[in-house]
Amino acid sequence: MSRIFFDNAATTPIDPEVIAAMTEVMTKNYGNPSSIHSEGRSARAIIEQARKTVANALNCSIGEIFFTSGGTEANNMALKNSVRDLGVTRIISSPLEHHCVLHSLDAIVASGSARVEMVRIDEKGSVDPEDLKAKLASSDEKTLVSLMHSNNEIGNLLPMDEVAVICEEAGAYFHCDTVQTMGYFPIDLDATNVSFLSGSAHKFYGPKGIGFVYINNDNIIKPYLDGGAQERNMRGGTENIYGIVGLAKAMEKAVAEREVRAEKISSLKRYFIEKLTATYPEVTINGNPDQSHFKVLSVSFPESDKGDLLLMNLDLHGISASGGSACSSGIDVGSHVIGHLHPDSKRHTIRFSFSHHNTTDEVDVVVEKLGGML
């Protein structure tokens, strides 16, 4: 059997139709989108059509979508610009956010421009809405709430609509990192009041190095990257037209096939849990299975001498998985998410994450192979 890829929260394979769309543009549309001649106008039209595709998927204005290099830039842009340009002096977030958010918050605190508070997280890793309400009510400071839609390590889902209402009633800005959920769950920005939202193409079968940030029209901010007038004066630098086309095509397919993909991946995850727990009853599932992304599964195995080699042994057997966020690869510090939830645990944690390309046969192989590694 060929290699088994169960690390789709880290990245996903590019869809062949996405590759075809990108290749066509690479071949035929080499103009600079900022040029006024025919080739430039053609390139500009392609970018604006892609922007329309993203805006339609999110039910927002095309003027609220700005292309970036990925989710990290989008999150940095939302957090740092809200402090610099919107007068935010307090940010409420959680200790389980992605490192690009946590490290941005560290930089903001170090600069002395705003302070950060962490909302309470329950024992399963979910945000406590009542604590968020209490924190918002405790101060009249201009506040930004930054919480991810789905945790990238344990999969817990944020009740986005509820949090949006809480923030709106408190007069706070709301930034939501939707990198893991974009293309997997419906998001209606006309119905849900979000100030900033981020997405990254390579999480939904598009290319790496391209993403976007949604900025609500009510929020007037200055450019994050200085340069030319690209992205309506919001992000200098010649646009990555091939990546933008790939992102739009991947988004189009993800929305069109969302229900079918979700059902297949959900069924696969249920099968994996049933097979794994029946074979190895001592394993534990991290997070809140009743409110979790259907593609992410974090599993902890009992402490053993072989535990530290689990990921390596899986890889040697042709199975790709991870210990946590891919951004921590090669850094032997463990998962900050699991470390926060279970600070004294010596169990060994693996994140399996699935796609609609995976099969139950692959699950059977993984469960069988694990037997010789525990």
Which residues participate in catalysis according to the annotation?
327
Contact (Cβ atoms closer than 8 angstroms) between residue 254 and residue 184: yes
Q: What are phi and psi of 144, to 5 degrees?
A: -115, 130
Sort strands 296-301 and 348-353 into parallel, antiparallel or unpaired: antiparallel
CA-to-CA dists, residue 271 to 286, 364, 370, angstroms = 17, 9, 16
- Indicate if the alpha-carbon torsion angle 131, 134, 136, 138 is positive or negative: negative
What's the rounded Cα separation, in Å, for the pair 155 and 341? 14
Contact (Cβ atoms closer than 8 angstroms) between residue 51 and residue 234: no
What's the rounded Cα separation, in Å, for the pair 269 and 298? 11
CA-to-CA dists, residue 104 to 78, 101, 110, 144, 331, angstroms = 10, 5, 10, 13, 19
Q: Any idea which residue has 């394979």 for tokens?
A: 13
Contact (Cβ atoms closer than 8 angstroms) between residue 165 and residue 192: no
CA-to-CA dists, residue 197 to 9, 94, 289, angstroms = 18, 16, 25
Contact (Cβ atoms closer than 8 angstroms) between residue 101 and residue 157: no
List the one residue out of 330, 321, 350 whose CA is nearest residue 338. 350
CA-to-CA dists, residue 32 to 222, 245, 277, 322, angstroms = 24, 14, 55, 39
Sort strands 115-118 and 90-93 into parallel, antiparallel or unpaired: parallel
What's the rounded Cα separation, in Å, for the pair 245 and 248? 5
CB-count burial class (<10 Å; 0-12, 13-18, 19+) for 317:
middle
The half-sphere exposure of 226 on its side-chain side, counting CA atoms within 13 A, is 0
